[in-house]
């Protein structure tokens, strides 16, 4: 058992960061926020594929009162045995297991299969959105766990830097704007759940209105067996957008990323589940000071646990489109938002992460 003369400590499971992963970044930044408030009370254990270290893990668990892990982490696609084994060892050592679950229904069924025993071993489960809570509640095997799950506000993983960096793509986008083209942006990994084909439909609707759009996807495709990249390229060709769509690929630095953000007239996201509190890509985009046009949330209480996100909605920095709207409606909102002057929201990421850390600390104590 943990020593009675010390305050509770937590051991956070982190991925290697290769490949990059938004939830992996969240895990690291949440840990850093906890460490800022309580130095030397919270530690990290990196979990890597085919590198499970039993003795090291056993010792690390002995120094902690609780193990904390965020799911899903991209780097753990080949290492899900590691977190499960660590949870099992934690139970043997009578340590608490705390899980932060960022999504559920959108996960591949095999990932859900591996995560179910992890959830069953968890003493505390945090969800980042009421929408995720509803998805978990609908699961026939672990749905009962949703009723006792708590909610955690998700901060932005990216913060606007003090300065931006130039790049050939930035210059290309600036040239397009000087030519009178409308630069429509979309940030984050490209995968079916974010409906990139629907964003192409918005660009086609803008082009039909004579707006001369240039659609830039700031991010890269998630490599998977669904063939999303081929489907995307076919859609571009079929929509007559061959000269109107750019995919940046992975952008390494915040300075270069926000240099691209600043060239965008408006961002657009078409989300089948509507905007949820877990959409960190929307929080990153809104920091560019340009309007973010996005599908309205499905649940009326989606942001009740997240007052800072709600404030962005109330200020009009995020423009909601009715859930049943078509591409023409999104195009209209983009054109209306384009005329809005640039206004950078007052968004202090450290404060947002303190909110999340305080929620977690409340359970750990």
Contact 274, 295 (CB under 8 A): yes
197 neighbors 235 (Cβ within 8 angstroms)? yes
DSSP structural state of residue 156: P
Under the phi-then-psi rule, with left for phi > 0, alpha for psi from -120 to 50, and beta for the rest, what region is 322?
Answer: beta
Write out the two tokens for 102.
């960022």
CA distance 69 to 252: 25
pLDDT for residue 4? 43
Cβ(52)–Cβ(85) below 8 Å? yes
Q: pLDDT value at position 5?
A: 42
End-to-end CA distance of the chain: 16
Q: Specify the long-range contacts of residues 106-114, CB closer than 8 Å, at least 24 apart.
A: 106/193, 107/72, 111/72, 111/77, 111/80, 112/139, 114/80, 114/84
Place of tokens 């009370």: 41
pLDDT score of 252: 85
Q: How many CB atoms lie within 10 A of CB 350?
A: 12
Task: Return the pLDDT at 80.
Answer: 66
User: Could you list the pLDDT tens digit for every one of the 365 residues in the chain?
Assistant: 444 444 568 999 998 877 767 888 899 999 999 999 999 899 999 988 777 788 999 999 999 999 999 998 876 766 668 899 999 999 999 999 999 999 999 888 888 998 999 999 999 999 999 999 999 999 999 999 999 999 999 998 888 999 999 999 999 999 999 999 999 999 988 888 889 999 999 999 999 999 999 999 999 988 765 688 999 999 999 999 999 999 999 998 999 999 999 999 999 999 999 999 998 889 999 999 999 999 999 999 999 999 999 999 998 889 999 999 999 999 999 999 887 776 778 788 899 999 999 999 999 87
Which pTM was predicted? 0.85
């Amino acid at each position: 058992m943990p020593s009675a003369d010390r305050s509770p400590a937590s051991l956070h499971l982190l991925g290697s960061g290769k490949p990059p992963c938004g939830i992996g970044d969240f895990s690291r930044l949440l840990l850093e926020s906890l460490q800022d408030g309580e130095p030397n009370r919270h530690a990290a254990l990196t979990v890597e594929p085919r590198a499970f270290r039993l003795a090291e893990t056993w010792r690390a668990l002995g120094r902690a009162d609780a193990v904390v892990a965020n799911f899903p982490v991209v780097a753990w696609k080949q290492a899900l045995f590691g977190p499960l084994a660590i949870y099992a060892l934690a139970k043997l050592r009578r340590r608490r297991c705390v899980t932060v679950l960022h999504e559920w229904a959108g996960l591949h069924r095999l990932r859900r299969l591996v995560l179910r025993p992890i959830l069953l071993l968890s003493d505390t489960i945090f969800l980042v959105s009421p929408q995720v809570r509803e998805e978990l509640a609908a699961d026939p095997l672990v749905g009962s766990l949703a009723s006792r799950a708590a909610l955690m506000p998700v901060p932005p993983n990216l913060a606007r830097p003090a300065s931006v960096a130039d790049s050939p793509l930035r210059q290309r986008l600036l040239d397009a704007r000087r030519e009178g083209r409308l630069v429509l942006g979309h940030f984050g990994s490209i995968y079916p759940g974010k409906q990139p084909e629907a964003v192409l439909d918005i660009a086609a609707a803008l082009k039909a209105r004579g707006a001369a759009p240039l659609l830039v996807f700031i991010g890269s495709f998630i490599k998977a067996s669904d063939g999303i990249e081929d489907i995307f390229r076919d859609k571009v060709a079929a929509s007559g957008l061959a000269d109107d769509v750019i995919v940046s690929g992975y952008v390494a630095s915040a300075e270069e990323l926000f240099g691209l953000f600043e060239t965008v007239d408006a961002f657009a996201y078409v989300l089948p589940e509507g905007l949820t509190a877990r959409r960190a890509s929307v929080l990153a985009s809104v920091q560019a000071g340009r309007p973010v046009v996005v599908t309205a949330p499905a649940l009326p209480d989606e942001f009740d646990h997240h007052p800072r996100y709600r404030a962005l909605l109330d200020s009009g920095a995020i423009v909601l489109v009715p859930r049943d709207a078509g591409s023409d409606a999104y195009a209209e909102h983009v054109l209306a938002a384009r005329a809005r002057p640039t206004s950078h929201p007052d968004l202090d990421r450290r404060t947002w992460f303190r909110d999340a850390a305080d929620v977690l600390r409340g359970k750990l104590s």
